[in-house]
Structure 1
Amino acid sequence: MASSRDRQRKLAREKLDRQMARRAARVKRRRQIQAGVGAAVVLVLIVVGSVWALGGFDRDPEDNQAAPDVCAWTPQNTEGNANLKDVGTPETKGLPTSGTRPMTVTTNQGGPITVELDLAAAPCAAASIAHLASRSFYDNTTCHEITTEGALRCGDPSGTDLGGPTYTFYDENVPAAPSPSPAAGQPPAYPKGTVAMIANPPGANGSQFLIFFKDANPAQPAYSVIGKVTGGLDVVEKVGKLETVDNGSGAKVKPKTDVVIQSLTVGEPATAPEPAPAPSSPAAGAPSASPSAG
């Protein structure tokens, strides 16, 4: 019969064997997990490297930037100025900046007067007028002044020079001052048929605009040129000949006969036509066109 000491040794050995087996199992399981994680990391690196090599991370710099504002609209202080009319503000982004846009002004003096707005030179003025026209801002308003420079002043619903929307915007496309000794044939700053914004105060444009019925060449041009008359200039010239009376401030510039804008509309933008391709020269040996003998 085994002694009690032998049995204790046997039990201790068996216990140690079990501990060693459990420890070995844990080590094996840990190595399996590490191997699995390593394989996954390698797979991710392979996928990322493949995507990078194929240009998957290449992005246009513009994709990382918000679309820039084309125009900025400055709120007007409406306190104490009942002449301002709130019709909201135009968009600031996504505005057309090339080509032209048609504007049609129908008055009680005949017409219509058609205008081509220049979107490249004055995109903000065109956007503002289009916005105001879509709100019928100009309809049934008067052209309240015939200026001493030779232009019809319109676009103020109050007829006071102080009216407009509840926002303003900066100058665009103001002509340079004429040369002190202009060369012969140098065009005026504002040729007849020019359409320009008139700001009050200067630099803070709103809704008021000028249509020139004769050439004007001020020493310090201050009006943003926004387009030109394409039809109905005779109507503007006729209005320019109307008798004027005191407008209440001592200036004899108000038309004695009311000049009413019955409607003002702005059409959709039109892109400039592409130039026609130059005619190709005839191939060698090909007969050239020549006038037939008469």
Structure 2
Amino acid sequence: MPTNEQRRAAAKRKLDRQLERRAERAKRQRLITIIASVVGVLVVVAAVVTTVIVTKKDSTDTALASTTTSAEPGAEQPAADGRLPEFVAPAGLGSDCQYPAAGQASKKVNPPRTGKIPMDEAEISVSMETDQGNLGLMLDNAKAPCTTNSFASLAGQGYFNDTECHRLTTSESLSVLQCGDPTGKGTGGPGYQFANEYPTNQYQPDNPALQQPVVYPRGTVAMANAGPGTNGSQFFLVYRDSQLPPNYTVFGTIDDTGLATLDKIAGAGVQGGGQDGPPATKVLVKQIQLD
């Protein structure tokens, strides 16, 4: 028979084991609670992050959709802050380039090919050599395929060789050097004409915005004309941001070397000290070649 002391010792051991099991269960419960709380927090954080990402993505998509819609050809959206409108390719761009005869050619030349113009080459590099320095041009076939097609055709036939840049403007609103006329008088052309492209084709023909000036930025190459659809061979090189209605086809850009050459020419001013006329420093285009 166990003694009273032995029974008390056994009861104590049993109580100690029970307390240990209770403590272990309580510890496990606390750990489970902590884990559940952490998981809950992570779920909430993940939900918040997902919501932020989705909201941001949706907002971006909405903004992109709005931009695309407002920039549709003929949507009559004025350029923001006086800038050229964002380019959106009109239906049929480059698919029907026509060059109807107009006047007498100032220099014998064949008209460019008509109809669909290949647009797989978005940009075409061109070297313009003058007696004042060289200009590297990058023609924008993606925005102005019919214009690029004509310019490349004329250059390839030597139409621009040994011709003078006949006009320089130096006002704050118009700072350009104009070239492309074999007569050197500003009245010559290739014997054909063709329609405007970018930025004119981003507006409806009756849009009043076509009469409002926009900024043709420094480094722009654009076509000179005498009205809608009268593009020929004359083009101008923008050496300082200039204000013009969006009726002059932008078809390329000028590299840094070319801009330095233009700055030198412009620095010499206009003959007679005016702001519009023949450049004081004669500028002879020796040749224009496709690279």
TM-score (normalizing by structure 2): 0.58
TM-superposition CA deviations, 1:185-213 (whole Å, max 9, x none) = xxx62110000001134431001111100
Are the counterparts in 1 of residues 131 and 283 from structure 2 also a CA contact under 8 Å? yes
| Equivalent residue, structure 2, for 1:195 | 221
| Equivalent residue, structure 1, for 2:282 | 258
Are the counterparts in 2 of residues 178 and 217 from structure 1 also a CA contact under 8 Å? no
Question: Following the alignment from structure 2 to structure 1, what is the Cα–Cα distance between the partners of residues 220 and 237?
Answer: 6
Q: Could you tell me how far 1:256 is from its partner in structure 2?
A: 1.9
Match of 2:266, as an amino acid? G
| Equivalent residue, structure 2, for 1:135 | 157
User: Looking at CA atoms only, which structure, 1 or 2, has the larger radius of gyration?
Assistant: 1
For 1:84, which of 100, 106, 129 is the aligned residue?
Answer: 106
| Equivalent residue, structure 2, for 1:209 | 235
Structure 1 stretches of 5 or more lacking a match?
1-67, 183-187, 268-294
Runs of 4+ residues over 3 Å off in structure 1: 175-180
Q: Which has the higher helix share?
A: 2
C-alpha change, 1:179 and 1:222, in structure 2 (3 Å) is closer
Q: Could you tell me how far 1:74 is from its partner in structure 2?
A: 1.1
SS across alignment from 2:242: coil
SS across alignment from 1:125: helix
Are the counterparts in 2 of residues 193 and 211 from structure 1 also a CA contact under 8 Å? yes
Match of 2:145, as an amino acid? P
Question: Following the alignment from structure 1 to structure 2, what is the Cα–Cα distance between the partners of residues 93 and 223?
Answer: 22
| Equivalent residue, structure 2, for 1:245 | 271
C-alpha change, 1:251 and 1:162, in structure 2 (3 Å) is farther
Cα RMSD of the aligned pairs, angstroms, is 2.7
Question: Following the alignment from structure 2 to structure 1, what is the Cα–Cα distance between the partners of residues 251 and 145?
Answer: 8
Q: Could you tell me how far 1:95 is from its partner in structure 2?
A: 2.2
Question: Following the alignment from structure 1 to structure 2, what is the Cα–Cα distance between the partners of residues 252 and 206?
Answer: 21
Q: Could you tell me how far 1:231 is from its partner in structure 2?
A: 3.5
Question: Following the alignment from structure 2 to structure 1, what is the Cα–Cα distance between the partners of residues 272 and 111?
Answer: 34
Match of 1:264, as an amino acid? I
| Equivalent residue, structure 1, for 2:43 | none
The yes-or-no answer on 1:170 pairing with 2:195 is yes
Question: Following the alignment from structure 1 to structure 2, what is the Cα–Cα distance between the partners of residues 92 and 237?
Answer: 36
When the two structures are aligned, how many residues end up with a matched partner?
186
Equivalent positions of 1:144-183 (< 5 A) are 144-147=166-169, 148=171, 149-174=174-199, 177=209
TM-score (normalizing by structure 1): 0.58
